[in-house]
Amino acid sequence: MLEATLGLTLTAAIAVPHLLGLERVTPMWAAVVWLATLALRALVTAVGAVFLFVHLPQIGLFDALTHWCLHQVLPLLTTELGVSEHPVAHAAGLLPAAVLAGSLIWLAFALTRSWVALTRMLRRAVGDGPAGSTVVHDHGLVVAVPRLGRRRIVVSDAALRAMDPQELEASLAHEVGHLHRRHRPILLAASVLAAVARVVPGTQAARRELQFHLERDADEYAVSRTSDPLALASAICKAATAQPRGLIALGGRGHARLRVGYLIDEQPRRAGRGLELATRALAGLLVAMVFALAAGLPVLLLGHPPAEALAADCLHQHAH
């Protein structure tokens, strides 16, 4: 009963942000909600893997189907190849861990590929640009900060030619916002959490929502510095098609039209006080749930050791 209640609570906590309209709340509070949601998804995935490893072999039907020793299923493995005789259930129990490891390996590969692409782009640097930026030779309208590595702003020579001074100033202020508001480590953490929780439906949507609200936060930072939302909106439109690998680009990944609409909208862009307070309360609740579940995970891991009895029983059967 307790497990069912916990499962329903976690499912509701993960689903609620998808049902709320957080597009007009304070961007960083919305980002906290989505980051906590990703953390919950990753922890639920880890708990699910532990549950399958520990408890699945104890289910009667699973035990009946898989509680065979390898010498019973594939005799040649033990007689000819000398493979140890562990139950088939052990291999099934390791499958969730293999899936998680595969996701993390794929993430490491993607980050490495992004780093290589960024390194190649920086090799085409042609000098220093405005606001301490690095100018690179590229045909795309690139105004961005690297996802990894040294804090810097990368601007393509094509962007310098295509943007007027106001657009360029707003674009650079947007990228300074990413650095000043420390969005890069948040996005890196989100990538790791999304990789772990890849099997949970809606994970990629949650990651995209987090990226959107971080872009909104950088937009608001830029407008607070330049007081020129129209220039930023124009720059976003021009850079929307440039998505170089390894960079947090001005155009973002999706939602560019929605961001531009907020910048040129003459109506108030902030949500009402009620939704703001509800979002902050939800953020606090989700963060508390993340810490509570993370604290309980070691208890789950240590309190229920793997079903070693299966291996002992297998050896007992072989002995007889």
125 or 79: which carries more pLDDT confidence? 125
Query: Rg of the chain over CA atoms, in angstroms?
Result: 25
Residue type, position 132, single letter: G
Q: What is the pLDDT of residue 63?
A: 54
pLDDT digits (tens, 9 = 90+) for 188-238: 999 999 998 888 899 999 999 999 999 999 999 999 999 999 999 999 988
Q: What is the pLDDT of residue 44?
A: 86
Q: What is the pLDDT of residue 267?
A: 57
Q: Is the pLDDT of residue 134 over 50?
A: yes
Q: What is the pLDDT of residue 157?
A: 92
Q: What is the pLDDT of residue 293?
A: 85
Pairing of strands 143-146, 134-136: unpaired
Span 141-148, average pLDDT: 90
CA distance 212 to 218: 10
Percent of the chain's residues with pLDDT above 70: 73
Query: Domain spans of the chain?
Result: 27-267+293-319
Q: pLDDT-based confidence at 76, cuts 50/70/90?
A: very low
278 or 56: which carries more pLDDT confidence? 278
Span 163-169, average pLDDT: 95
Contact 211, 38 (CB under 8 A): no
Q: What is the pLDDT of residue 58?
A: 55
| Threshold 0.85, pTM exceeds | no
Contact 291, 19 (CB under 8 A): no
Burial of 51 (0-12, 13-18, 19+ CB in 10 A): middle
The 3 state secondary structure assigned to 144-176 is EEECCCCCCCEEEHHHHHHCCHHHHHHHHHHHH
Q: CA nearest 124: which of 134, 142, 141, 137? A: 137
Residue type, position 311, single letter: A
